[in-house]
Each structure stands twice: as structure tokens, then as C-alpha cells.
Structure 1
Amino acid sequence: MDAQVLSYDDEGELLQAWAEFVRKVDPDVLTGYNINNFDLYYLIERAKHLNAVNFHFLGRIKNVKTVCRSVVLQSKQMGKRENKSINIEGRVIFDLLLVLLRDYKLRSYTLNAVSFHFLGQQKEDVHHSIISDLQNGNEQTRRRLAVYCLKDALLPLRLLDKLMCIINYIEMARVTGVPLLSLLTRGQQIKVVSQLLRKAKHYDYIMPTYQGQGSDDQFEGATVIEPLRGYYDVPIATLDFASLYPSIMMAHNLCYTTLLKGTEMNSMQPDEFIKTPANNYFVKASVRKGILPVILEDLLSARKKAKNDLKNETDPLRRKVLDGRQLALKISANSVYGFTGAQVGKLPCLEISQSVTAFGRNMIEQTKNEVESRYKIENGYKHDAKVIYGDTDSVMVRFGVTTVADAMVLGREAAELISKKFVAPIKLEFEKVYFPYLLINKKRYAGLYFTKPEIHDKMDCKGLETVRRDNCPLVATVMNACLEKILVNRDPQGAVEFAKSVISDLLRNKLDISQLVITKELTKTEKEYASKQAHVELANKMKKRDAGTAPKLGDRVPYVIIAGPKGTPAYAKAEDPIFALENSVPIDTLYYLENQLSKPLTRIFEPILGEKTESVLLRGDHTRTKVIVTSKVSALSMFTKKKSTCVGCRTLLKDENDALCQYCQPKETEIYLKEISTLADLETKFNRLWTQCQRCQGSLHEDILCTSRDCPIFYMRKKVIIDLEEQDKLMKRFN
């Protein structure tokens, strides 16, 4: 990397030079990863400690100091988290961590994990405990530290470019009239409030100041047509309503300003108002246009224009801007309905939200009836169509045809015909075909996703543990592999055999510990949880061991469940994965089978195997072997001495220095060669992992300093080192 390095003898002088550099460059945006809670906070506090006189004037307004204060951010979307609030007037602090926490659901939010997930790159990970040693070493060690710092600055910039974060947020700010900082730190409602205020001013309305306190009033949600569960080896066409809830609000003029209360409708003509399926009354658009429909029309028409411009645009930067704009417009339109239904909100209105969902339910039912009554053998079609599932804004239809192309023809025809039955701008669209399709339950299904007849676009999964973060990686790995075999290879039996082999390996402790790490976010303090939680108990345990590296509020806590006495609750068996590896603490493999793997596997195989699912997967020869690893930290380990066993047959030996018992002595050469082969395999594995880590850090001639807990290679490297040490001790017992 090309970088200019400036050196200073005094740290205070260094900080003042950095502050002067900021003022000279005069940036509009300061960005980085977790810069609010760490980088800027540390610099401000350090400058205060060293009395760096001019450091704190980082903004564009003279004589206004940059200070830091602690705040607690809390929203339904992001939960509760501690944060630092820093004022730098005239500049936007655009913390990439806040963007990712808000917009993406990831298993880990460390820069290393995020960079690998989106870029396929990793940072030069250096543990904080060795930074001083690297700085005080030689030119080569300081180079390692410099590369670490440079990558920490470079990776967030690459992520910003890849994810178009700044472009998307600037467009969202432009569309909604909300400042960038508020988009990062506030909830969804502020966007709708801002747009309402704009339109209220334009139409000379006054918007009331109101804060919903919540109530016991409930309204019926969207319809979910009862699924006909099963494995469908025929094409399933999907019909979707485009922007269902916004289009309902526009079609029927549902708004605060059009709602009729009490007996107001008695003084009006019948053609001047409508009665919704939820028994609420609204004025028609011909009498008075509502503010919410006007906002939605503006948003959706602007989105349509942005999408059309995007098709014709060739400049890469303008394409990014237009794509960010259409995405911001889509999100803004979809949040309007949620705003009216948020009872603990700025302006809740149950009459609007319950009317929208009531119209939606009727439309889904009407679509189902129209499809099944039209596409019948008696009407000249080859098969009777059947709606096998419907949810909120879409229905899945089995037309009975055997090819994707035929299903697409019928799907487009049905969407066009049924759209004519509804009030504009409500429109039913044909979007995709699933083939094959595994319908597990409500909101749980998987299938190969076709938008063109020739080849599938992707494997689409909804509600399954392939993406959920509160399971260990093993669950997602096994589920994806099984679904691949069922859907892509059309080999359900092969999927069953694969699942059984993984269960066998799990119980025999043959799986890498990186596959068993569970992560959960520490969203509340211990007192705020109703019951004891595994990640909270572990965080407390780690705080006692080393408060400096212990997880803090808002962090995701990685842990494994270790073996313990019968009846010990899971929260008491949570342990730090590194601690478990280094001390050979045995893993509770039965916990992972019963509490992590069994339910997800049963779900996807039940439509195929039926009632015998559990007996096939969770019972049998493959579940009868279980290995327990001896821990170095057990309660009695300090008082007991481990006895040597024969390398060949594992019987106890009288002399701990011997390798074999008298019965295995004649086969000494054979056993020795077998153990030498095991040692060679471990050395080969270690060398491959070491080389992979060297490639990742960009040098094949330096030691590995990486301590990234998000990287499976890190755990594998730790494990193979421990195995090598044990195997080396075993080999020394042979003469």
C-alpha cells in the first residue's frame, strides 16, 4: 500500500497535527468502523489527558469544542445499546457499524467478519495485547502494525463503496427530509413524520402533537391461507400484489384527513364515502384527497421514474445514485402503513391500519377463489388449479402443469385477469415459479426460484434456519447441504444419509468447534432479563477473568455449550470457545443434537418422510456412539493423576512411560507407523492452515498474529496445535 508516514516524538504533538490535518482537509463526512464508540472517543479523551490545546476544535464553527457524552440508543428495530454521541459541527460522523446494525442481519459485526462476508477480504488482525510489543520492536514489526491500521481504514471505505451506504442514506435523507445523523440513530417513524409535516404545511393542515402510550386494542392482521404441506415436484407459480398496503391506501383514500367519525357520514351522499371491511368510513378521493395517499403517490411515481432512468443509465456512479434513490423511495412507502399501526408511536390510527389489513385479507381470498374457479378442467384447461399457500401479499398456485414455461404462461395470464377485478392502482403481478417446492409450514418454505424457464436464479428459503443467527453455523451448513440435495440434486434419500452422517460425527466429537459457536446479542443488562441467559452468564464470567476483553452492552457474545453434570441448565454450561479449546473442555454434543439440529432437520424432512422422520434421523446406529473428551480444568483434575493407556488397545498400563501393553508389543511396528501417519497428517493440516493465514495477512515470511474469533480457520488452527502437542507426547512414549 502507498502511504505517507509522519512521525512525532511527542504524542500530544501527534494529536494536534492530526486535528490540524482534519481542519485543513475540511471533510464533509468522517467515516470508519465503530468510530463513535472507540476511535473518536479515544482520541478526544487522550487529547484531554495530554492537554493537547487545539485538538478539540474539529468542527466548522469556531470556538465550539468537540465533546463526547454517553447515550443509550433504543428502538424496536435495533434493541438497546450504549453509544457515544460526539458533536463535530458542519460534518457528518457516518459510522459504518451503525449502518450495518440497522440494515443487515449478520452473525457477527466485527470488521473482520463483515469484510469477509461482503468483500471476501479480511483485516490484518492484531490483538490489543501485542500492539505495544510491535511498536517497540523493529521496522518489520512496526510495518505489521502500520498494515493493520491501514487495513482498518481501507476496508470500511471498500464496504461503503460496495454497499453504497452513503449514496443510499443521502438519497433517503433527500426523500424523507431527515438529517443523515437521525437516519443512523433514530427509528423508522421520524421519516413518516417528516413527510407528513411537509404535506401538512402544503395543504394548510395542523398536525397534532401526540405520543401513543399503547393500548389493549387489537386488530386482525394479514390472512395466511392454510398451507398444504408437502414436497412438490411440479412447478408452483407465485402471484404477488405490487406494493400491496400502499396501493390499498391509495386506491381507497385511507388517511387521517379522510376518516369519518361518529355519524358524519349521515350528512353525505352514499357515493361520497366508502365503508371498509373493518367497518370504518372514509371520504372518497373525489370529495377530498388524503395526505397519506398523496405522499404514497409521490413516492411510488418517483420510484417508477428512478427505475426507468436506471434502465437507460450507463454511467456507473449515476446508476448507483438512482438505485439508492429507488430503494429509499420503496422503504419510505412501505413504512407509512407501519406508522399508522404503531400504537406506541407519534400518530397511531387503528382505523387506517385495520382497514388496510381487512382489504388485504379480502383480496387474498378473492384471488384464491378466482384462480380455483377459472383454471378448471371444465373450463377447457388440462388440470384443476389449486392454491397451496397464501401469505399477506402473495399466493402460490399449483396449475398442474409439468414445465416451468407452462406455469409462467398461466401465471402471467392469471395475474392480468385478476388485476382487472381490483380498484386501481392495486395490481397483481406474476413474479416467479418455484420448482421443486418444499412447503413446510406457514412462513416456512424452500424452492428453486425461476424467473426464466431455462435455469433457476437461486435457491430461495423463507423462515428456515439457513440464515438465522441464533443457531450455531453447523445448523445452517447442514440445512443448506440437505436442501441442495433435495431441491437441486432431487435426491431426498441422499439428504437423509448426509444428515445421519453429520449427527454421527457430532456425537463422536469429530466436528470442528467453529461449527458449534452460538452468538447472541447482549441487548439488556442482567437485571432486565426475565430469566437467566447463557450469553449473559458467560459475559459476567468473562468480566471476572478479564474485564478489558469482556463483552459490553450491544456486543454479540460467542459461546459453546460444554458438558456438565446431569440436570445442569444450559445457561450454566455456556463457555468461551477459546477457553474451551485451550483447556480441552468437553462439548455437550447431545445439547447440540437435541436443541440445535433436531427441530430444523425434522421440519425439512417431515414433508418427505412423514411420521417416521424422528425414528429415521434421531434414532439408530448412527446415534449410539458418543465420545467424551477429558477436561484439563475439571474440579478434581488437580487431585488426580491421569493414568497411561496402551496406544494399541487403550488398556491401563502399569508403567506410565510405556507405549504398549504386553499383548500389543508384537504389533509395535504396525502401531508405531499408524501413529507416525497420524502425526504427519496433523502436520500437513497445520501447514495448510498456517499458509492460508499467511496468504490472508499478505506475507508468507512472517508469524501469524491473527486472533479473529469470527474466522473458522482460527479455531481450526488452535485445535490442530493442541492435537499436535498431544500426538507429539504420545510419540515420545515409543523408544
Structure 2
Amino acid sequence: MDLLLETDPDVMIGYNILNFDLPYLYERAEALKIQDKFHRMGRIRGCRTRMGNRQFSSKALGTHDYKDLNIEGRVQLDMMVIIQREHKLSSYSLNAVSAHFLGEQKEDVHHSCISDLQNGNEETRRRLAVYCLKDAYLPQRLLDKLMCMYNQIEMARVTGVPMTYLLTMGQSIKVYSQLLRKARTHDFLLPNMKVNGNPNDGVAYEGATVLDPKMGYYDKPVATLDFASLYPSIMMAHNLCYTSLVSPERAKMMAPEDVAQSPCGDWFVKAQKHKGILPIILEELLGARKRARADLKAEPDPFKRAVLDGRQLALKVSANSVYGFTGATVGKMPCLQISSSVTAYGRQMIMFTREEVTKKFTRANGYETDCDVIYGDTDSVMVNFKVADVTRAMELGREAAAFVSEKFIRPVKLEFEKVYFPYLLMNKKRYAGLLWTSPEKHDKMDSKGIETVRRDNCLLVKDMVTTCLEYILIKRDVWGAVAYVKDLIRDLLMNKIDLSLLVVSKSLSKDVDAYDASSGHVELTKKMRKRDPATAPVVGDRVAFVIIRAAKGAKAFEKAEDPIYALDHNLPIDCQHYLEHHVKQPLLRIFEPVLKNPQAELLQGDHMRSMTLSTPSHAGGIMKFTKVKLSCLGCRAPLSKPGETSLCVHCMPQESAIYYRSMKNVADLEGTYSALWTQCQRCQGALHQDVLCTSKDCPIFYRRKKVQKDLNEAQNTLARFVDEW
């Protein structure tokens, strides 16, 4: 507290400080009976800091509980909340986020080890100090790397809300603030409406159009035509606003040229008669964004560029959130006539674009072929002009965008941005392709709706999907992808897949007793609490688990097990479960457009017989009481004669070769373990220290534990030769 008052910071940053650090300090001060002195964290004298429970809910971000501390004059900037809102990652732990954005991690210390380190010696306390320092240093580096400060300040300036609101509230308050500001200048008053209900409830209305996809593999360039700022453009073009909405009776009393009816039957006054407040706000936002982007291109100073980039991003997000504000049925000012009219105009424009493009680009009009619109989604239309050249597809795309844009009311504009070549269309909102913005070389492999970023998928599925897409799209080798999949399935069924690739993680969002239905991570948490309550997961943790083999008929949630526990106790993995519930469906989705019968090609054949060779389950019943005899290291036959410790009489002539093989196995495992250890040290930035990392989000952690176990077993095997050599 003394440090806080002495430094007098404007901004307090950290990682998960809203839900852990600050509430912990608050409660710790109460436990020590020093709350009168400590609870003065703000800049207003005599104003006591208090803590309350708050809940934030939205369709986009879900429901989150958090602690609210009033610290007047200081911004509480929680990097965890910012990254959760702005980035889609497989894990949001500080280790995983730092590894993703910075290429390094902290020295992870489990909370159960902190007391032992503190009560140890100078070295253990130093390790604890380094852990705490990195806990504060990494969020600061993330703040700089992601330019969060610029973005947050500019968003607050654009929308007129305090910075704290940006993390603890949704989009509605930003739009409402802008409405208040603009209404005042136009002598309007906003109604004070009561907010009731849940944001996930409310009256539904027809959303955007998704044209039925013509699924398949397209080996010719597919041009993508996008509407620039579609919903804001519609609201400006048709003057959709609270202040321009009129009843059907009132519309009949007005001149026909002053009103227009939307496709869903609602009436709005045209801009020439009265310009609405929402279109004025949108015009100012998009105009300011256009100026900011122009200034950004001409600005050489890195600091000013960062500010301008943050400003144009804030302006873009603010403009796009106005439509959602009108459609939020439990928001500040819901108006379904506006939101349903916007989507109705959007559907109409998508259909109109498809008709105009297919009508113009035909052989009859002098073009190479008759084009085909293969897919459309909300604000984009994908056109197959059936030309082999990327350059020609881009030319036709620009021509089509300009041709259709002329037929729309300004400022609605159709733009050409990119070409996909080749293109794999699997279903609605599921596609992948090489993205080209210039004809020289593709920019990247782009995908949507594919199992590459879903957090509840194991790393095996993500790697498999990515590799298959690389074979199909980049190498153009479908049968190479098929061969890769068969090898992968064979290795999976033979239990040759690295354990780190099979780990699944799910968040424990509430106490285990509060869950209605049973699930793997919940049941595993209960088991881990019985084994060791100190190290068991707590609410807010992500629970990592693998699926092990169990008795026939056992349910999936009963087979979830801690990966380290399964490794230490040699528990066999349920490979068939991973094949059926994790691997099969993503594979069929990818290969359905390129193979006639993907089920037969991928999931039938000799490679599926390998499951009979997979690791046997543990011996049970009377077998666990039998005395295990040593077996020959050469032929695996039981050693029955006196004096035999490593080889039987039949393998003794090959003793030197078998000994050399055992030594080589130990050397190889030592090399692998050293490489993994060094990689962990580099990740922590501590090459001169031991590795403390226990990050269960990192696959190297599991690989290191597995290699360590295999090395111990190999060294024990080699030790059986000692008495004879």
C-alpha cells in the first residue's frame, strides 16, 4: 500500500488482477485487521475502497463473474480480460499467452509449492522471486507488444466511456454513450428504459443470408467480393434510425418521396427529409477512420503510427457495434424494426449480387465462361469465374465489384479483396484455401470453422488437420494426404502417438458440485481432490486429461485421467476412443469434397488392423498376485537358470551387440531429454537454472516427462549388464 501511494500510478496492470490479485490483497488486509489503512487505494481522500461481486453477460463473450473494486483515479488494466476479448487462443494462461505472443514463458510454480520455496534457502527464495517478477514483467511486455494502451485509450476517446468500462462492460454502453453525446447536440432526449432479462433471451428475428454452398474442391481461382462495412453502410444508405422510424399510419400521411419501406415492412423517413442520429454517428466514425488510415500511411513516427492504428481500429469496432446495439433485446434501447430492416436489406443485397454477377459474366457477354456463385455469407460472395489464371480472376473480381457497386445506394460498396486458389468448401462457414492478394505468391493458408483453434480438441487433431490441408492445398497431393492419414491412424492404434498430442483440456468454470451433468474434467477433478487436495484443480483452472482404457461399457467421462498420473502408472490410452470421437469427423469433413468414398479410403484397410497390437491393459484378478520373472533382453524369454540376469544361454553369443543396442538407446534418450530440457530453459530465459515449469498447456512438458520416464527404464535395463561386465 505504501508503494502504491508513493508511486501514485495512473494505471495498474497485471494478469487476472481483477479476479485474483486485487481481491486477494483486499481480503488479506481484512484478515490482518489493517483494512482501515489499506482500503484507501484510490486518489480521492477519505474514499474507501470496497469490493463487490459483478457479472457480465453477452452473446459474443458469454457470462463472466468478476470482482469490482472502486479505485478512483487509477485504471485497472487486466491483460487477461483484454486478450480473452480480442484474441482466440487455445489457452489463456499467462504461460500459453506469453509463449504465443512473446516466444517465452515464466518459471511456473504451483501454488502448493510456494510455502516450501519461501521456507527453504536463499536459492529457493530466489526462484520464487524470479517467478513473481516474471508474473509482473510478462503482462507489461504483452501490453507493449499488442499496443493495448494505445487501443484502449483511443477506444475510450472515440466512445466517450471510462477505460474501466472497456473491460467490465460490453459494446452497448459504448454506443449508448455516443448516442447521448450526439443527441445533446441535436436537442434530443433519450428514454430511460428498464433493462430486464438475460442477453441470451429475447425476440428472435431473421438474420443474415448464407447462400447454400456448392461443396467441393475448386482447383481454379475463386474470387471473394466483400461489402465494405455492410451494416453501417445499410443504416447510412437507408437512414435507419430511432428518429427516422415512423408508423405505417404516419407514413401514409407523408409524401411518397419522403419515406421508404424496408424489405420487412417497416417505414423510415429518407435522409433528404430528416437525417437520423445513428447515420450521423456512423458517418462521423467511418469518416474519422478513413482519415486515420490515410494519416497512418503517411506517418513515419512509430509512436504516432501506433496511436493512429489504435484509433482506426477503435473507430471500426465502434461503427460495427451500432447495429448490434439496436438488436439487443435486453439492451438500453432495443429497436427490432431497425435491426431486422438492416438484415433484410443485407439479404436482399446478397441475392441481388448473385443475380447480377451470374447475369453479366457469361459467354454470351464475351467472357471466357459462365461464372458461378458457389457461396455467400453475410457480407461476402464467392465467385468461381472458371479461369485458370489468378491474375485474370483478380481482374474479373475487380470488374464485378465495380459493376455491382454502381447499382447500390451510396455509401454501400462492394469491394474485391482476395482470391482463394485452390479452395476447399466443406459446408456453411467451413472452408479452407490459399489466400492470394497479389498474383505473384499466396499470402497464407486461410481457414474457417476447421478444428485448428478449438480449445477442446487435442493437439493431434489440430496437427492432423493442418497437415492434411497442406498436402491438399499447397502440395496438391490428395493421395499423399491419404497416405499420411493412414500412417497416423496406424500409429494411433499401435499406441505410438506421443502423449502430449492426446491431451485435452477444459475449463473448470464452477465448483464440481454445481455441475448438473457429468463430464470428464469434472470427474477427474473429484478424483484428483481425493488423491491430493493441495495440487488438485480449482475453479478457473483448465483441467488437462487423457482418455484411458477401462472396463467394457464404461462411459467417456469415467475414463478421463490426469496425463502425468497415466504416464507414471502406465495406464493404457483408449486409442479407439480418440479415433471415433476426435479424429474421424474432422477427417471425413476435409476429404468429403475430394474423395468419392472417404469412409472407405481412410477408415478401411490393413492400417485399421493395427489396433490388435496396441498396448495391453493392466493385469487384473489373480495375475497381480503372480511373481514376475525377469525376461531375456534379447529374445524376451523368461530367465529360469541360476546366474542369468540379462540374457539367456541362446542370446549370450550376441551379448556385445545387445549391450551396444541398450547403450545406444540410453544415449539417444539422454540426447532427447537434454534437448527438451534446454528448450524449456530457453523458454524461461534461465539457462543457468533448473527447470521448474509445470505448464500443462505446453506439449513439451509432457514430452519431457515421458522421455524422463523412458530414460529411467532404459538405464535400469542397462544396469542389468553390470554384474556380468
- What band does the TM-score fall into relative to the shorter chain? over 0.9
Deviation, structure 1 residue 65: 3.3
Query: What percentage of aligned pairs have identical amino acids?
Result: 58
Deviates more, 1:579-588 or 1:167-176: 579-588
- The match for 1:616 is 601
Structure 2 partner of 1:346 = 332
Note the C-alpha offset of 1:75.
3.6
What is the aligned partner in structure 2 of residue 22 from structure 1?
4
Match of 1:195 in 2: 178
Q: Which runs of 5+ in 2 are unaligned?
A: none
Distance 1:67 1:221 in 2: 43
Letter in 2 for 1:264: R
In structure 1, C-alpha distance between the alignment counterparts of 2:90 and 2:305, rounded to whole Å:
30
State the partner residue of 2:668: 681
Matched residue, 2:587 = 601
Match of 2:22 among 40, 52, 56: 40
Partner of 2:432: helix, strand, or coil? Answer: strand
- 2:570 aligns with 584
Q: Which moved more, 1:44-53 or 1:629-638?
A: 629-638
SS of 1:263's equivalent?
helix
Q: What residue identity is the alignment partner of 1:373?
A: K
Query: Structure 1 residues 257, 366: CA separation in 2 closer, same or farther (over 3 Å shift)?
Result: same
**Do the aligned partners of 1:135 and 1:142 also contact (CA within 8 Å) in 2?**
yes
Q: Distance in 2 between matches of 1:321 and 1:539?
A: 45
CA deviations over 1:572-612 (Å, ceiling 9, x no partner):
1122222222222221111111111111111111111122x
In the alignment, residue 209 of structure 1 is paired with which amino acid? M
SS at match of 2:38: coil
Relative to 1, partners in 2 of residues 1:201 and 1:652: Cα closer, same or farther, differing over 3 Å? farther
Q: Does 1:210 align with 2:194?
A: yes
Structure 1 stretches of 4+ with a deviation exceeding 6 A read: 630-638
Q: Deviations over 1:230-268 (max 9, x none)?
A: 111111111000011111111111122222224221211
Inter-partner Cα distance in structure 2 for 1:637 and 1:263? 87
The reply to whether residue 320 of structure 1 matches residue 302 of structure 2 is no
Cα offset, 1:458, TM superposition: 0.9
Alpha-carbon offset, residue 117 of structure 1:
0.3
The aligned amino acid for 2:703 is M
1:608 aligned counterpart, secondary structure? coil
- Structure 1 stretch 525-534 or stretch 261-270: which is displaced more? 525-534
SS in 1 for 2:226: strand
2: distance between equivalents of 1:81 and 1:651? 60
Change (3 A) 1:180 1:699: closer
Whole-angstrom CA distance in 1 between matches of 2:531 and 2:669: 32
Counterpart of 1:184 in structure 2: which amino acid?
A: L
Question: Structure 1 residues 632, 94: CA separation in 2 closer, same or farther (over 3 Å shift)?
Answer: farther
| Aligned with 2:245 (options 237, 259, 264) | 259
Q: Which among 411, 418, 443 is matched to residue 432 of structure 1?
A: 418
Q: What one-letter code is carried by the residue in structure 1 that aligns with 2:193?
A: T
Q: SS in structure 2 opposite 1:289?
A: coil
How much has 1:43 moved relative to structure 2? 3.0
CA gap of 1:684–1:315, structure 2 versus 1, over 3 A, is same
Residues 203 and 329 of structure 2 are in contact (CA less than 8 Å); yes or no, is this contact kept in structure 1? no
- Change in CA separation of 1:184 and 1:373 when aligned onto 2, cut-off 3 Å: same
Deviates more, 1:73-82 or 1:701-710: 73-82
* CA shift in 2, pair 1:725/1:24, >3 Å: same
Partner-residue secondary structure (3-state), 2:593:
helix
User: 1:329–1:234: structure 2 CA closer, same or farther, 3 Å change rule?
Assistant: same
- Please report how far the alpha carbon of residue 158 of structure 1 lies from its aligned counterpart in structure 2 after TM superposition: 0.7
Matched, 1:573 2:559: yes
Question: Take 1:694 and 1:402, find their aligned partners in 2: how far apart are those partners?
Answer: 50
2:702 matches 1:715 = yes
Which of 138, 141, 156 is equivalent to 1:173?
Answer: 156
2:679 matched residue in structure 1: 692
Equivalent residue, structure 2, for 1:147: 130
In the alignment, is residue 66 of structure 1 matched against residue 52 of structure 2? Answer: no
Conserved 8 A contact 2:211-2:377: yes
Aligned 1:92-131 pairs, distance under 5 A:
92-131=75-114
CA 1:71–1:224: 2 relative to 1, 3 Å: closer
Assess if the C-alpha contact under 8 Å between 2:421 and 2:434 holds in 1.
Answer: yes
1:92 deviates by 1.1
Give the whole-Å Cα distance in 2 for the aligned partners of 1:70 and 1:652.
66
Match of 1:389 among 375, 380, 386: 375
TM-score (norm. length: structure 1): 0.92
What is the identity, as a one-letter code, of the residue corresponding to 1:617?
Answer: L
Structure 1 pair 337–552 and aligned structure 2 pair: CA distance change class (3 A): farther
**Cα offset, 1:70, TM superposition:** 4.2
Aligned match for 2:273, one of 284, 287, 293: 287
Secondary structure at 1:237 match in 2: strand
DSSP-derived class of the 2:446 partner:
strand
Q: Normalised by the size of structure 2, how large is the TM-score?
A: 0.93
Deviation track 1:363-419 (CA, whole Å, cap 9, x = no partner) reads 111111111111111111111111111111111111122111111111111111110
Assess if the C-alpha contact under 8 Å between 2:537 and 2:543 holds in 1: yes
Indicate how the Cα distance of structure 1 residues 283 and 443 shifts in structure 2: closer, same or farther if over 3 A, else same.
same
Assess if the C-alpha contact under 8 Å between 2:221 and 2:390 holds in 1: yes
Deviates more, 1:120-129 or 1:567-576: 120-129
For 1:469 and 1:579, the matched residues in 2 are separated by 22
Deviates more, 1:355-364 or 1:127-136: 127-136
In the alignment, the residues of structure 1 paired with residue 687 and residue 563 of structure 2 have an alpha-carbon distance, to the nearest angstrom, of 28
Task: Tell me what 1:6 maps to.
Answer: none
Answer yes or no: is 1:399 the counterpart of 2:385. yes
Report if the CA contact (8 A) 1:503-1:593 is conserved: yes
| Alignment RMSD (CA, Å) | 2.5
Output the CA distance in 2 between the equivalents of 1:529 and 1:620.
Answer: 42
Q: Kindly state the Cα deviation for residue 303 of structure 1 after the two structures are TM-superposed.
A: 1.1
Pair 1:274–1:228, CA change in 2 (3 A): same
1:520 Cα offset (Å):
1.9
| Equivalent AA in structure 2 for residue 172 of structure 1 | M
**How big is the shift at 1:641?**
5.1
Q: For the Cα contact (< 8 Å) 2:494–2:615, is it kept in 1?
A: no
What corresponds to 2:474 in structure 1? 488
Q: Separation in 1 of the partners of 2:621 and 2:93?
A: 34
Cα gap change, 1:377 to 1:573, in 2 (>3 Å): same
**Aligned residue in 2 for 1:542:** 528
1:617-656 matches, within 5 Å, as 617-626=602-611, 628-629=614-615, 642=628, 644-652=630-638, 654=640
CA distance in 2, matches of 1:225, 1:603: 19
Give 1:235's aligned amino acid.
P
